[in-house]
Amino acid sequence: MMSPSVDKINWDLTPLYVDSSDQSLQADLAAARGAAEQFRASYYGHINSTEINPKRFSKALHEYEVLQLKILRPYLYAQLLFYANSSEPEHPRLLAQVREAWQKIHEETLFFELEILALDDNDYTPLVMDAAVSPYSHYLTTVRAHAPYTLGESVEQALKRKDLSGKDAVVQLFDELTTGLTFRFHFPGEEEEREATGEELLSLIYHQDRDVRESAFATFLDKHAEQSLVLTSCFNNILLDHGKEAELRNYPDLMTPTHLSSETAPEMVEKMLAVTEAHYPLAQEYFELKRQLLGYKKLKNTDLYAPVAKETRKYSFTEALELVVNAFRTFDPGMAEIVERLVETGRLDAAPRVGKSGGAFCMGLYPGADPYVLLNFTGTLRDVSTLAHELGHAVHYVLSGEQNFFHYHAPLPLAETASVFGEMLLTRTLLDQEPDRQTRIALLCAKIEDIIATTFRQTVLTRFEQAAHARRGEGLLAADDLCELWLAENARLLGDHVEMIPAYRWGWSYISHFIHARFYCYSYVFGELLVLSLYQKYRSEGSSFVPAYRELLRAGGSVRPDTLVKPMGIDLASADFWAQGYGLVRELIEELRLLIVEERRGV
């Protein structure tokens, strides 16, 4: 059933449009613009206590949904075309055109949510209780959560416009500067030094040779240090902008907007971070094992992802797909069927190509349409994990496809549930069927390092970001201040076990999350720990866990995370829950310790 060659796994976008010159794409754009104008003409200024009733309100919501779907189809299609081949000049042109249309429609319809926000509680409550409106109730609740912090339409529009030359311009500058940096580096096995991209250098963090790892990362960081004037200014301005916005909107806390959009309670997040910090010694136990495996006197931070196996096994795409499908099948045959269908109907683009975007992603479209998955599969174990990760996302989108447009995407903290769970299923399958002890050691290390990167490291990042915001409130930060905050937070995790290379003081300067989205990093911690405890539950409850897990995915973004997991007996407000996740990490570390002992004894 599956194609043997990875080059043949290309996605088929024709269910959306025939090609970039498809007449129906331009027709859809025009229709979406028309619908937005019509929508504004019908409802602008009319979502108020005297004119709105449940029937009219639900009609408006439905029309709003339909018009969003109309623009979404060309918008997502243009993105997919561009990611698959950006060197075709028609593709960036189309993307720009569609983005502009998207922006226009956004401006035209911005009033709708603002008027919903402005409704008095006494007028709003009976509306949302009505059967005609209740299918939209969760969406409305998330919109209304911003009510206390929203300003009038003209102020909101003015802020958005000033963002173009303010915050957005800083982000643009940061992106252009960092993606435009080139590096001189002598790659192992090559005759002479050559120009390299940042991605190429960062990928050497997994290289076998210790000196290569260190010099590649140092080269990368030193180049950023040369740009410290601009980078420090970008950070200062983003921090200041956020502080000013918090003042204007009267947020009780700098993290409030993130909590509102992530639907997380502030106390819960703080508890989760504190529990993670309390488990830093667990990470340090792993660092010690890794040091022993590598046979070093002292570990450096550039050794944390060093390979522990001499030879790295390669997988064909067919093999990889079979592994992943089987991992899903042992858990839930229905999920394996979904994955097989997606492969057969051309929703995957697997091989690396010139002009194709790097990395990997799964793009959910809208309810009722299957998602698309982009990969750059080269046959490493990491690529097999990525396949499991992205297909996990894909299964999530297929299952949440029965929700309406507003509830299709899971909120940020839940967005990585199915993907990380898929990786976990794959790791267990690989570990259980792998006869070679060295390979099992390598598999375990890879999994533990992954978990450390998404929990402990992201907690360090979040604490650094909190500290930087707090310090900016007191005044301008010098580059050295940022370096020192960064080193201090990292030192708490690494302790005496890991020595940071000198250039690592610039480690903060390239992390784009700090620039793009405030306090984004804690959602990684949330996602990973939730999956670890869900997996623990699966182990103890067996197949009776599966239907509850399916329900969780099926709900998409229709329920708050804490409410959603409650029926599974999970209380996100309890510190014990977060600590449970680390119980599984401890087990993995013990499993590794045992293998290392066996390996030494040669039994």
Query: Interacting stretch for Zn ion, rule CB under 5 A, among 241-249, 342-350, 417-425, 579-587?
Result: 417-425
CB-based closest residue to Zn ion: 419
Nearer to Zn ion, 303 or 370 (CB): 370
Q: CB of residue 282 vs Zn ion: minimum separation in angstroms? A: 24
Q: Which is nearer to Zn ion, 397 or 545 (CB)?
A: 397
Q: Of 400, 419, 454, 490, which one interacts with Zn ion (CB under 5 A)?
A: 419
Task: Compute the chain's Rg from CA coordinates.
Answer: 25
User: Whole-angstrom Cα distance, residue 284 to residue 301?
Assistant: 12
Smallest separation, CB 80 to Zn ion (Å): 17
Binding span for Zn ion by CB under 5 A among 180-188, 201-209, 416-424, 470-478 = 416-424
In sequence order, the β-bridge partners of residue 194 are 185
Nearest Cα neighbor of 550 from 400, 416, 428 is 400
Q: Binding string to Zn ion for residues 110 to 149, with x set by CB under 5 A, is what?
A: ----------------------------------------
To Zn ion, the closest distance from the beta carbon of 386 in angstroms equals: 9
Q: How far is the CB of 418 from Zn ion (least distance, A)?
A: 9
For residues 328 and 546, the answer to whether their CB atoms sit within 8 Å is no
Q: Residue 389 Cβ, how far from Zn ion at the closest point, in Å?
A: 6
Stretch that binds Zn ion, among 212-220, 333-341, 413-421, 524-532 (CB under 5 A): 413-421
Q: Residues 200-231, buried b or exposed e (16+ Cβ, 10 A)?
A: ebeebbebeeeebbbbbbbbbbebbeebbeeb
Paired strand residues for 499: 300
Q: Nearer Cβ to Zn ion, position 276 or 419? A: 419
Cα separations in angstroms, 143 against 113, 254, 591 = 7, 19, 46
Region near Zn ion per CB under 5 A, out of 9-17, 419-427, 469-477, 503-511? 419-427
Find out whether 417 and 555 touch, Cβ atoms under 8 Å: no
Pull the structure tokens for residue 361: 């992603």
Range in contact with Zn ion (rule: CB under 5 A) among 152-160, 379-387, 418-426, 514-522? 418-426
CB of 360 to Zn ion, least distance (A): 8
Q: How far is the CB of 598 from Zn ion (least distance, A)?
A: 34
C-beta separation of 403 from 410 below 8 A: no
Nearer to Zn ion, 46 or 516 (CB): 516
CB 271 within 8 A of CB 575: yes
Please, is 5 exposed, middle or buried when counting C-beta atoms within 10 Å of its C-beta (0-12, 13-18, 19+)?
A: exposed
Per the CB < 8 A criterion, the answer to whether 220 and 202 are in contact is yes
- For the bound state, the minimum distance from the C-beta of residue 310 to Zn ion, rounded and expressed in Å, comes to 30
DSSP result, 228-250: HHHHHHHHHHHHHHHHHHHHHHT
Give 337's contacts (C-beta < 8 A, 6+ positions apart): none
Minimum distance between the CB of residue 420 and Zn ion, rounded to whole angstroms?
A: 8
Here the tokens at position 326 are 């089987």
HSE of 390 in the Cβ direction (CA atoms, 13 Å)? 25
Judged by beta carbon, residue 301 or residue 419, the one nearer Zn ion is 419
By beta-carbon proximity to Zn ion, the closer residue of 302 and 419 is 419
To Zn ion, the closest distance from the beta carbon of 270 in angstroms equals 25
User: Of 262 and 419, which has the nearer Cβ to Zn ion?
Assistant: 419
Q: Which stretch binds Zn ion (CB under 5 A): 67-75, 240-248, 412-420, 476-484?
A: 412-420
Site string for Zn ion, 181-220 (x = CB under 5 A): ----------------------------------------
Binding segment toward Zn ion, per CB under 5 A, in 138-146, 339-347, 415-423, 588-596: 415-423
Nearer to Zn ion, 387 or 482 (CB): 387
Q: Is the CB of 290 or the CB of 389 nearer to Zn ion?
A: 389
Q: How far is the CB of 527 from Zn ion (least distance, A)?
A: 8
Rounded to 5°, the CA angle 549-552-558 comes to: 175
Distance CA 88, CA 90 (A): 6
Helix ranges, 119-209 (H):
121-129, 137-144, 153-165, 167-180, 198-203
HEC sequence for 122-148: HHHHHHHHCCCCHHHHHHHHHHHCCHH
* Least distance from Zn ion to the Cβ atom of residue 304, Å: 21
C-beta of 418 vs 460, nearer to Zn ion: 418
Report the residue number, 187 or 361, with the smaller CB distance to Zn ion: 361
The verdict on 68 binding Zn ion (CB under 5 A) reads no
**Rounded to an integer, what distance in angstroms lies between the CA atom of residue 556 and that of residue 559?**
8
Number of residues that bind Zn ion (CB under 5 A): 1
- Residue among 304 and 412 whose Cβ is closer to Zn ion: 412
**Residue span binding Zn ion (CB under 5 A) among the ranges 303-311, 411-419, 465-473, 540-548:** 411-419
**For Zn ion, which is the closer residue by CB, 419 or 509?**
419
> What minimum distance in Å lies between the beta carbon of 393 and Zn ion?
6
Q: How far is the CB of 511 from Zn ion (least distance, A)?
A: 17
* CB nearer Zn ion, residue 177 or residue 363: 363
CA distances, 453 to each of 100, 284, 305 (Å): 37, 13, 10
Residue type, 327: A
Residue 313 burial by Cβ neighbours in a 10 Å radius (0-12, 13-18, 19+): middle
> In this complex, which beta carbon is closest to Zn ion, that of residue 400 or of residue 419?
419
In sequence order, the 6+-apart residues with CB closer than 8 A to the CB of 315 are: 323, 379, 380, 381, 383, 384
Contact 413, 530 (CB under 8 A): yes
185, β-bridge pairs = 194
**Minimum CB separation from Zn ion for residue 97, in Å?**
29
| Binding footprint of Zn ion on the chain (CB under 5 A) | 419
